[in-house]
Amino acid sequence: MFRKKHNELLLFLHIPKAGGTTLNTILDKQFPGGQQYALRDGAVERAANELNSLSFWKWNRLRLVRGHLSYGLHERLNASCTYFTFLREPVDRVISHYYFARNTPVHYLYKELNRSGASLEEYVKGQWTIETDNWQCRQVSGMSDPKKYPFGSGNRQMLDLAKKHLEEFCFVGILERFDEGLKLMADKLGWKIGEYHKENVSATRVKKEQVPEHVKASVMECNSLDAELYDFAVKLFENALRKQGSNLAA
């Protein structure tokens, strides 16, 4: 049986530690009963294979695909796709990432990180994970494969591509203004948002203001492209707010 081509499939590009787990609980209410699919693997080729192996009936019911996916998945699917995402100030995101990895037993770095006792600065400088090296830029640009683009290989091409892609997204939010973004997205996509609670918050993490300046500088050194992308996303977000008008704040 041939699959029909989707008129529009929403792709949630979930950036780690940028509010995605909280948003997923909201998405569960918007897309019940098999209307969404959570990817097990965000790598484009494996994600595409995972989706393309779905049954005829599962595929045709889908309205949303979510996961730690990278831009480019749409090119391998028989669907008209549109992306949305939330970004986060990069230094704060990496700090949160470190404490989440250190305090979450199911995290792939938990055992080794606790065995070594690596500090935040050592975590970043030691290149423990590619997710601390301009990862937002990598995901949004589609240049996330660490074999092709190893730690420290970020460049202006990656940043420019990420900016271009964000301009094509149906929605771009920022974690620091999550409520406004959620309302803006709901209005744009026709959702009704009720009460929600923050999920996956690292309760024992140190706040950004408490981190020594030289440590924050080390984090920023590995995330300067993300900082530029974040500033660009803020401008896109504020432009969208202005177009929405003054009623959104109320």
Burial group, residue 249, by CB count within 10 angstroms (0-12, 13-18, 19+): exposed
Amino acid 1: pLDDT: 41
Rg (C-alpha) for the chain, rounded Å, is 18
Backbone angles phi, psi at 247, to 5 degrees: -70, -25
Domains and CATH numbers, the chain: 6-248 (3.40.50.300)
**Burial letters 212-222, b for 16+ CB under 10 A, else e:** eeebbebbeeb
Which pLDDT score, from 0 to 100, does residue 3 have? 53
Quote the pLDDT of residue 233.
98
The pLDDT of residue 191 is 86
Give pLDDT tens digits along the chain (250 positions): 445 555 689 999 999 999 998 999 999 999 998 899 999 888 899 999 999 999 888 998 999 999 999 999 999 998 899 999 999 999 999 999 999 999 999 999 999 999 999 999 999 999 999 999 999 999 999 999 999 999 999 999 999 999 999 999 999 999 999 999 999 999 888 888 877 777 766 667 789 999 999 999 999 999 999 999 999 999 999 999 888 876 776 6
Rounded distance, CA 140 to CA 14, Å? 10
Q: Which whole-number Å values give the CA distances from 4 to 9, 44, 75, 163, 227, in the listed order?
A: 12, 21, 16, 32, 40
Structure tokens at 133: 């090296």
Q: In what order do the strands lie in the sheet with 64-67?
A: 36-38, 64-67, 6-13, 79-87, 171-174
Say which residues have a Cβ less than 8 Å from residue 132's Cβ, sequence separation at least 6. 94, 97, 98, 123, 124, 219, 222, 223
